[in-house]
């Protein structure tokens, strides 16, 4: 099996999804000899901020001398990004080799695994073969019944924050979603909550208490942002002064604060992480698609915010970086998102938009989204492709001396980046 054949097999899984549960991933891992039981995990769930938090924590632990595995989703440009060892994507050849190894085990099952279950099991096998010291494991969706939750235990659980998203699967209230996310908490294992919603906090802390797990949270009153520019941020958090990150966005110092607090908990549980490893790891961390500068003339920024909470953070960032200057949008959304609310939020920072239809069966048509944006006060024009939307936005930006912000869907990142 070669790389192309491996991807065709993974993405071509035609087994219909039955019901949520851990039975299929459990059976597949058992057939593989339980590779997940050979590993230590930091399990990260949450509505937003999981990826950036995972990337920064991975960078810090690598600087501290640990051999890390990093499992994230979705990928931005190439499938291989989903699993990394020591910061490097899985190679094409190893992905093909592992897929060929796992395929017969999956096909022997009566109740076949889903695509995400197959990928998760593959990642466990990959990390085990590389003898990773610790794996930063990002949950896909939810927590309690997410495939990643097949792990027996972890060294730390992190819930970055809770907001309404994937309500058809996770519940239609913050409390219900929090209960699903709290499913990653393991008995006696510390849980760190990085959110600010009091209702979610109550659900998570109650679950931690029931399992005898230490509950810790991030006190954002201890966060002081010294500078926030398009070169990065300088901030203080608790006793740590002048920490620096290159990741952009008003929300990234908050994500970094979660990492600092996580490091504190890990230190108390036997991890040796020096102050220099913390500082250097934060500064060297990279994460694509989150308020990322793609070009400077004109200024084009991509932010993968795709739900109300994420777009709120993007709008906050736009207002901080550009003050009262209105921006031009390149945007497309999925129809199962609250796109009316998203459009209303964006209207506070944008007055011009070019819409596209994301490459997804769940996509909202560009014309429908343009109409919604117009109703919110943004002059919007639908385009036949991402490339055309970006071309027209850049022309507009040159003529009007304004930034272009690409926002609304991670699915467009690869197409947009290929235009430069």
Identify whether the C-beta of residue 108 lies closer than 8 Å to the C-beta of residue 137.
Answer: no
Q: What is the pLDDT of residues 88-133, one digit of tens each?
A: 999 999 999 999 999 999 999 999 999 999 999 999 999 999 999 9
- DSSP classification of residue 1: -
Q: Which two tokens stand for residue 230?
A: 């398009």
Among residues 221, 250, 284, the one where a domain terminates is: 284
Looking at residue 171, what is its pLDDT?
A: 47
**Cis omega (within 30 of 0) for bond into 74:** yes
Strands (E), 269-378: 292-296, 299-303, 327-331, 350-355
The sign of the dihedral angle between the CA atoms of 296, 319, 284, 39 is negative
Number of domains in the chain: 2
56/179 same-domain check: yes
316/271 same-domain check: no
CA geometry: angle 344, 350, 351, nearest 5 deg: 100
Which segments in the chain show pLDDT lower than 50?
166-171
Q: Which of 339, 342, 334, 347 is nearest to 380 (CA)?
A: 347
Cα atoms found within 13 Å of the Cα of residue 340, Cβ hemisphere only:
1
Q: How far apart (Å, rounded) are the C-alpha atoms in residues 59 and 44?
A: 15
85/147 same-domain check: yes
263/358 same-domain check: no
Looking at residue 169, what is its pLDDT?
A: 47
Owning domain of residue 68: 3-284
50/153 same-domain check: yes
Among residues 284, 309, 328, the one where a domain terminates is: 284
312/248 same-domain check: no
Q: How far apart (Å, rounded) are the C-alpha atoms in residues 346 and 14?
A: 38
Q: What is the CATH number of the domain that holds 106?
A: 3.40.1190.10
CA 51 to mean position of chain CA atoms: 3
Burial of 103 (0-12, 13-18, 19+ CB in 10 A): middle
276/298 same-domain check: no
Q: How far apart (Å, rounded) are the C-alpha atoms in residues 229 and 291?
A: 12
What distances in angstroms separate CA 69 from CA 35, 138, 263, one per listed residue? 13, 11, 17
Q: Which two tokens stand for residue 28?
A: 């597949």
Q: What are phi and psi of 338, to 5 degrees?
A: -80, 70
362/230 same-domain check: no
Residue bearing tokens 């499992």: 71
Among residues 252, 284, 316, the one where a domain terminates is: 284
State the average pLDDT for the chain: 93
Q: Secondary structure of 161-219 in the HEC alphabet?
A: CCCCCCHHHHCCCHHHHHHHHHHHCCCCCCEEECCCCHHHHHHHHHHHHHCCCCEEECC
96/136 same-domain check: yes
Q: What is the pLDDT of residues 3-58, one digit of tens each?
A: 999 999 999 875 555 677 899 999 999 999 999 999 999 999 998 889 999 999 99
115/187 same-domain check: yes
225/330 same-domain check: no
Q: Please report which residue ranges of 37-192 form alpha helices under DSSP H.
A: 50-63, 92-107, 115-129, 167-170, 174-181
Report the phi/psi class of residue 54: left, alpha or beta, with left for phi > 0 and alpha for psi in -120 to 50: alpha
What distances in angstroms separate CA 154 from CA 43, 81, 146, 269, 295, one per listed residue? 7, 23, 15, 12, 40
Q: What is the CATH number of the domain that holds 360?
A: 3.90.190.20
What distances in angstroms separate CA 392 from CA 96, 315, 382, 412, one per listed residue? 40, 22, 11, 16
Identify whether the C-beta of residue 232 lies closer than 8 Å to the C-beta of residue 246.
Answer: yes
384/278 same-domain check: no
Q: Which of 243, 276, 60, 234 is nearest to 156 (CA)?
A: 60
Identify whether the C-beta of residue 59 lies closer than 8 Å to the C-beta of residue 295.
Answer: no
């Amino acid at each position: 099996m070669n790389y192309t054949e491996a991807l065709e097999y993974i993405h071509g899984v035609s087994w219909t999804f039955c019901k949520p549960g851990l039975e299929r991933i459990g059976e597949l891992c058992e057939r593989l000899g339980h590779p997940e039981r050979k590993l230590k995990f930091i399990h990260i769930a949450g509505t937003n901020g999981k990826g950036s938090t995972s990337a920064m924590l991975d960078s810090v632990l690598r600087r501290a001398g640990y051999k890390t595995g990093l499992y994230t989703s979705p990928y931005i440009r190439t499938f291989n990004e989903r699993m990394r060892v020591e910061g490097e994507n899985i190679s094409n050849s190893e992905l093909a080799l592992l897929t060929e190894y796992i395929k017969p085990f999956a096909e022997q099952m009566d109740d076949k695994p889903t695509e995400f279950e197959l990928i998760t099991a593959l990642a466990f096998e990959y990390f085990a073969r590389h003898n990773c010291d610790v794996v930063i494991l990002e949950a896909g969706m939810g927590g309690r019944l997410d495939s990643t939750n097949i792990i027996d235990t972890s060294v730390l659980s992190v819930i970055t924050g809770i907001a309404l998203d994937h309500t058809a699967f996770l519940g239609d209230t913050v409390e219900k979603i929090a209960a699903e996310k709290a499913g990653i908490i393991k008995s006696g294992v510390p849980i760190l909550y990085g959110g600010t919603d009091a209702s979610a906090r109550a659900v998570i802390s109650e679950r931690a208490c029931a399992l005898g797990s230490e509950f810790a949270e991030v006190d954002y009153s201890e966060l002081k942002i010294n500078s926030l520019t398009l070169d990065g941020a300088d901030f203080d958090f608790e006793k740590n002064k002048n920490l620096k990150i290159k990741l952009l966005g008003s929300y990234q110092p908050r994500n970094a604060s979660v990492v600092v607090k996580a490091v504190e908990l890990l230190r108390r549980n036997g991890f040796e992480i020096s102050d220099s490893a913390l500082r250097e790891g934060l500064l060297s961390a990279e994460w694509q698609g989150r308020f990322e500068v793609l070009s400077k003339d004109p200024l084009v920024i991509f932010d993968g915010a795709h739900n109300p909470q994420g777009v709120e953070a993007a709008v906050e960032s736009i207002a901080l970086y550009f003050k009262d200057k209105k921006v031009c949008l390149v945007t497309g959304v999925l129809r199962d998102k609250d796109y009316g609310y998203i459009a209303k939020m964006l209207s506070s920072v944008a007055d011009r938009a070019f819409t596209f239809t994301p490459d997804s069966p769940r996509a909202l048509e560009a014309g429908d989204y343009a109409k919604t944006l117009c109703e919110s006060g943004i002059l919007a024009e639908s385009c036949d492709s991402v490339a055309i939307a970006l071309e027209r936005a850049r022309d507009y930006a040159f003529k009007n001396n304004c930034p272009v912000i690409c926002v609304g869907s991670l699915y467009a990142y690869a197409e947009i980046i290929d235009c430069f």
